[in-house]
Amino acid sequence: MFSGKVFGALAGATVLALSASGAVAQPKEKVKVGFIYVGPVGDHGWSYQHDQGRQAIEKAFPGKVTTTFVESVPEADSERAIEQLARTGHDLIFTTSFGFMEPTLKVAKKYPNIKFEHATGFKRAPNLSTYAAKFHEGRYIIGQIAGKMTKSNTIGYVGAFPIPEVIAGINAFYLGAQSVNPNVKIKIVFANTWYDPAKEGDAAKALLDQGVDMLAQHTDSPAPIQAAEQRGKFGFGQASDMERFAPKAQLTAIVDNWSDYYVARTKAVLDGTWKSEDTWGGINAHMVVMSPYKNMPDDVKKLAQDTEAAIKSGQLNPFKCPIVGQDGKEIECKGQGALSDEQVLGMNFYVKGIEDKIPQ
């Protein structure tokens, strides 16, 4: 599963990696970058988008960078795969799933001269950065579109698991819908899987059968939006642009764009300016990208574009205070005029107006 072309540069890169040892970062002539993916590159979603980022690096620094990836790495067995990359002369290693956190930390401590980057985690070290994206910003926008477009006044959400990341997405989506349509109702189904196309499709059909006409999803395959297409309803793509699966149904997609970040971090290693950091970027940082708004009236499109611009400029925060919980009590505001990052990352409540309960 290693991409073939890297082996030619292997010997040279190893020598460089050795010569670059020592605490002081120095500019490099050539950099070898490795990626660990949790799913197959062909999942159309999460891992696919990370691989787009890898390809962007290759394009950005022709002749200077070689990349390697290992796909479908089980989280339980990831330490071996990460260490394999560390031993084969990689200067920068991206591990792209939450479950890779502990193994990445362990390997990072063993190889202090190699830079590591872990997606969606919270444990850092002098040579280990973390990064994630504020997808809930995109979910607020699609919520507004759904709130405007719904005819049955019932919108639906296929979630993977009831974990904070997904809960925050549901709340942002619903808050967006509520901001333009105060009486809108939401129905939520958890598929209890990130990736099972058939089951995700069934979850979507269950929602559509029960009167939902706008479908958002937080699972990885295009099956839910495809179900919406088949029923003549509307939906939103997840992680990558899913228009080819639902040309009439996709209103927009929340696209994970890691390319800019990956290119910037690779450049930092080349320049010798890499530092351990925590990055949580949104629309502003171009980590969250909305695919073209389609299949909707012009006024809805304008609304979506305005909201996107407002979020980008920082005028609008989907979790701006006051946020009211299901019990009608206001949530304590720990950030500046909005919920703090910690509150969003650890979200375990539904906002007022959602009638469902979080499965405990």
User: What is the binding site for another protein (CB under 8 A)?
Assistant: 39-40, 42-44, 72, 156, 162, 187-193, 195-199, 201-203, 205-207, 209-210, 212, 221-223, 226, 230, 244-245, 355-357, 359-360
For another protein, the closer CB: 46 or 236: 46
Q: How far is the CB of 100 from another protein (least distance, A)?
A: 18
Q: How far is the CB of 217 from another protein (least distance, A)?
A: 13
Q: How far is the CB of 183 from another protein (least distance, A)?
A: 17
| CA distances in angstroms from 37 to 7, 49, 70, 298, listed in the order given | 20, 10, 6, 39
For another protein, the closer CB: 102 or 356: 356
Count of alpha carbons within 13 angstroms of residue 12, beta-carbon side: 13
Q: How far is the CB of 357 from another protein (least distance, A)?
A: 6
For another protein, the closer CB: 13 or 207: 207
For another protein, the closer CB: 162 or 335: 162
Q: How far is the CB of 255 from another protein (least distance, A)?
A: 15
For another protein, the closer CB: 202 or 260: 202
In the numeric block, which tokens belong to residue 355?
Answer: 């009638």
Q: How far is the CB of 40 from another protein (least distance, A)?
A: 4
Query: What is the number of helices (H) and of strands (E) in the chain?
Result: 11, 12
For another protein, the closer CB: 176 or 222: 222
260 contacts 49 by C-beta, under 8 angstroms: no
CA distance 20 to 28: 8
| CA distances in angstroms from 48 to 227, 240, 351, listed in the order given | 21, 8, 32
Among the listed residues 8, 242, 272, 255, the one whose alpha carbon sits nearest the alpha carbon of residue 141: 255
For another protein, the closer CB: 142 or 223: 223
Q: How far is the CB of 45 from another protein (least distance, A)?
A: 9
- Long-range CB contact pairs, 337-341, < 8 A, 24+: 341/280
17 contacts 86 by C-beta, under 8 angstroms: no
CA distance 286 to 282: 6
| CA distances in angstroms from 118 to 54, 95, 108, listed in the order given | 14, 5, 10
Q: Is 296 exposed, middle or buried (CB count within 10 Å of its CB: 0-12, 13-18, 19+)? A: middle
